[in-house]
Structure 1
Amino acid sequence: MLSSQQNPSFFHVYIDAFAGTGYHLSRTSGGMVLGSPLNALLVQPPFREYHLIDLDGNKIQGLRDIVGSRQDLVLHHGNCNEVLLQDVFPRVQYKDFRRGLCLLDPYKLTLD
């Protein structure tokens, strides 16, 4: 899937609209497992930019505690319906050779 990242003219962006804390409880083992945002940070070759969004400020703070300060990562505290349109999608323009993978996996079905 990411083999095209070897083409330096493309700028790949990972977007998780419901990032959560970065971990979740496994239904099968009962243990904590990495969630999609932390798994995305481990992908090789890496995305060039990451946008993690959550409405819950405590979850964003938890992510900040885990990932620290990274130049390639933006944590957004807010409603993804607004954050995506106002802050994220304008940065992922086709004409600029930017391509985004956007995950929309809400906790509840409240996506507008």
Structure 2
Amino acid sequence: MTRLLERGGVSLEASGSVLRVEGQVGFEVATALAEAGRGWLAGQPAETAVSFDLTGVADVSSAALSVLLEWARAVRAAGLTLEAVRLSPALRRLTDLAGLERLLPLAGAAA
């Protein structure tokens, strides 16, 4: 497991082909989180299948959704495949409310 970012109680780690976020994602850390994830995604070999694990994301704001969508764009730009997205229950509800569930390969029911 590689720690890509630790800031303001939020951590981003890469393990195999999975980006894992834990903590309270707010706008004060969203830009750094998005950049760290984009950098990791850009370094993956083309056609790699990657997943995002946000089951450890505590309180939810639209900042977490912004990061998630930015990473989804980075996946496409790097020629990767987004295999699965795992969300915390609160983030899953916000994603459903925003109508984004159609755009992401959400894994199972709310975790």
TM-score between both structures, scaled by the size of structure 1 = 0.40
Higher relative contact order (CA 8 A, sep 6+): 1
The higher radius of gyration belongs to: 1
Q: Which has the higher strand share?
A: 2
